[in-house]
Every structure is written in C-alpha cells, then in structure tokens.
Structure 1
C-alpha cells in the first residue's frame, strides 16, 4: 500500500518589506532547516506594486544552484527573456553567471522564485536558461480540477523542462468540494503553498489556507505515495513543490551556493575580476524556449 501523504507542519510566512523598496513585499516561504527542505534552499513570494518609473534591481551574480521563477501575475524581464503571468523560467547558474533583473516602469506583479540545489556532481554545470510559456505547460482539466505541470511528471502529464535534480512543480486548482489523488515518489521532499482560497490535505482533511505553507511527511522507501487534495469552501489554488533530496551539506553565502568556504571565496574573486559571463551571452544551445 502506498504511503499516504499528510500535512505535518503548517505556518504562514511573514510578508516583509522587500529589497526593491516601496511597494515590494517579500515572504520567505521556506521556514525550516535545509536538512528538512533539501533540495529546496529558498523560496520567495515577491509581490510588487511599483508606482513610479525609477529603476530598481540590477545585475547580480549567481553560482552553484538553479533559480526556478514562476510568475503568477504581471510581466518581467527583458525582451530576450520576457515572462508573462503563468510562465516559468529555470536558470541553471551552475559554474557562475551574471543575471539582470531591472524594473524601470510602473509594475504590478507576483513572482515565486525558488533556489534549487544542484546535485554535487552537477554543481558547476554550464549555465543555461529554459523558458516555458503558459501556453506550452502540460495541462489536465477534469472533474473540477485543473493541473498544470511545470516540471517533472504528475497526473499523467510530463513537462519538457530538463532537470538535474528530480523536481515536480505543479499548479493545482480545485473547485469547492472537488478532489484529486496524485502519486509522487514517497522519498521526495514536498510542500504545498496555497495562493488562493483553501484546500484540505490527506485522509485527515487538514486545512491549509491562502498564504499558508503545508509541509508533507515523507519516507526513505523507493515507492510511490498518494497525495489527496480537496477544494475548500470556495475552492483553492495551490502550488506543489516536490523534489528528490540530494543529501549533501551546502555552504551558502550571499548569491552563491557551494560545497566549501573555499569555493565561495573563489566565486567572489571571479565576480570581482569580471570573469563571470552574463546569462544573455550563453550559447544558443543553452537558451531553450519551449
């Protein structure tokens, strides 16, 4: 019999003033230690309501991990990497890149940006960027349930996104009273982030409400597990994140993830010396638009 997933930790991440200044609220979704969240390092829910044309943001480096950006509302990026509501971008920083996120106009947007650990053997992979627009996201609509699979496989759907660390990201919308049971590997670290309404999870029907996070139990067994979800009184929309733990300790400092402090020093030196390339300059073979 499959492991039955249930909620073991529910909380509401605090909304804090963001680094972009007035009109920026940022909620750090992951509030548990990395030993519990592996392979997920950081997930920020950024809400921006910018009412002026003053430029904010700018170029900054990353290395040693991947950013997974799911834009829920609005638009962001430059002409080469323009994201619209419902689009996903996965950027493999790997060996090190410079990335620019500049907003120079009035803007209203909501972005979920995940820092995803790379397996140790792929820590310094060649940088690449993958863009998956909403219209290309595999989608299932059935019995009051809509499932969009942005990464990995779920509900008989498979995303085209290429992963180093096995990763499932799905946007699941349930009408009031609608239910679904989905299977995912029992060993995957998994959590739910409710972005609208409420849902009930598992046989226990534990309620997770809007802006709340629900962490799920897991097992070390290499078997499948069942995740049962039901829409709340007014329905609900939830983002599911599930990934295979890598089991390796990491060193985190500023914009870099590494295996040792010496790696961190080397990365800062490379950044200061200007040897990190901009993500816009990666070869065409490493810029993938689905």
Structure 2
C-alpha cells in the first residue's frame, strides 16, 4: 500500500518526565501534567513508576478522592490492591489493567501487596466530557490473559488494552474519548506502521530501549523514558533501535472543553470545583 507523506504521523516534540512523589511518598516520574506538558487533551496526566527499592513504593496511595475523570493503571511488574468506599476491591497483578471511571466521585486506596522486588507500571488520567463528569463510578478491570496479544509484523508484538488493530479489539470501551492504548514491543530493526484514529491526540512513550518514529526525513529517534507528542496522520511508522524497544502508544479524541482542576478533582467550572470539595468534605462521595 502506498501512502502520501501527509498520511504519516510525525513527532512534534519529545520530552522527558520529572521526578516527583505522590500518595504517601511513592516515587514516580510525571511525564504529562508538568510545566513542559500540562496536558494533551483528553489526557491530563501520565505517571511512570519503576523501581526495585521497596522504600520507593511501600507506603502506597492511601485513601484519596477523585471526581470528574478516569484513571488508567497498567501494571508491568508488582502487585497492587485497590479498595474504594463503594465496596469494590481487587488485585492488580503484572500485565493487568484497571480503567476506573471516577465520575461523580469515590474515595479509593491503592496499596502494594508486596514487600520487596520490582514495582513498575503507568497511571494515566483521562478527562471525561462535561456530560459524563457526574456519572456513577465504574471499573473495567482485566487480568493479563484477557488482553489480546497480536504480532502484526515480524519482530513486533502488541498488547491491545483499548482500541483496535485490524480485526482485533482491546477490552476497554469508552465512547466519550474512543481511546487507543497499545503496549508495543519491537525487536532491533523491526518495523511496523501503527494505525492511529482520525482526529485523535496521540503520544508514544518509550520505556525500554530506543525507537525511531516517523517516516523518511521526518523520522525521529526517541530514547528510553522519552515521550513523543505526535501530530496528524493515519499511520505512525515505528522501528526498533539497536537494542529493540518497548513503548506505549496512546490516543484519544480531544474534548475541547474548559478544564478546571485541583488535585484529585477535574471539572469544567470553578463553581463545580468548589462543589466537589464541599461534597467530599460532607461525605457525599
């Protein structure tokens, strides 16, 4: 199939995250939600956590509220137990994903179920449109065996968390932002053209090795722990670097609505934000 160069997505910019801590002192790297990249509509935040040191994660994320958006936790290594004030509880194991729609509000905790070893993964915050901000909270939680794995080209393996590639569909459904969330492993020199949904904002984050993104003169090398903000195009050409690469490719339909946020609440107006604080303090979550 021949494609004109306009149909290829390009790398608009690359950036590294900044070290921070959250919860009761869990060390992580914030990649979206920083002064360099405050958001990428509909994505509000991306945190990468990865450490072999128990003291970096053992205190976990004790009970905290959320309203008005979704949190997506993708565990690569380690075990994390979550509980909320609606009686929901579950265990995130390596390779599992939890897509939590906080909606009108809940209070939850995420605490390590391990006392040593490696803890690694991502948490992504996805905004909800104004019409869905006050929906009932819900969870879409999938163990690794429920997440389809496909090999679309030689030396390329994908895990489909959300969205579709060819006839294969990931398990997560969210009509509001119609997300794509792929975990892509590339052998050294392996190439694949990743389809991107039309009109979506998209990024790629390399967490192992190095990858070349884009076509011909527009190709950019993206190193480990670098995020590439992508621009336009129906297809993103990917190639593994000398050591191969592993990256997440994420896209979502932009909401183009005002964002008024403070800490764990993301609303559309200042009044709604103040109401969230009042509702939380009065135990209405």
Alignment of 1:16-35 (within 5 A): 16-21=20-25, 24-30=26-32, 31-34=36-39
Deviation at 1:47, TM superposition (A): 2.9
CA contact (8 A) 2:24 2:62 kept: no
- Summarize deviations over 1:87-137 as a string: whole Å, max 9, x none: 110000001111112347524311211110112221111110110111111
Q: Distance in 2 between matches of 1:52 and 1:167?
A: 31
Structure 1 match to 2:41 = 38
Q: Output the CA distance in 1 between the equivalents of 2:204 and 2:237.
A: 12
**Unaligned stretches of 5+ residues in structure 1:** 219-223, 277-290
Counterpart position of 1:170? 182
> Residues of 1 paired with 2:136 and 2:61: CA distance?
25
C-alpha change, 1:93 and 1:143, in structure 2 (3 Å) is same
Checking the alignment, whether the CA contact within 8 Å between 2:8 and 2:236 is kept in structure 1 is yes
Describe the superposition over 1:210-248 as per-residue Cα deviations: whole angstroms up to 9, x where unpaired.
111111112xxxxx6111000100100010110110111
Deviation (angstroms), 1:19: 4.5
The alpha-carbon deviation at position 185 of structure 1 amounts to 2.2
Q: Does 1:77 align with 2:81?
A: yes
CA shift digits 1:141-192 (9 cap, x unpaired) = 2411001110111243211212132100000001011100122123111111
Looking at structure 2, the residues matched to 230 and 53 of structure 1 have their Cα atoms a distance apart, in angstroms, of: 33
TM-score by length of 1: 0.86
Q: CA deviation at 1:195?
A: 0.6
Quote the residue 2:63 is aligned against.
59
The CA RMSD over aligned residues, in Å, is 2.1
The 5 A counterparts of 1:131-280 are 131-141=141-151, 142-163=153-174, 164-203=176-215, 204-218=218-232, 225-276=234-285
How many residue pairs match? The answer is 267
Long gaps (5+) in structure 2:
84-88
Shift of 1:46: 2.1
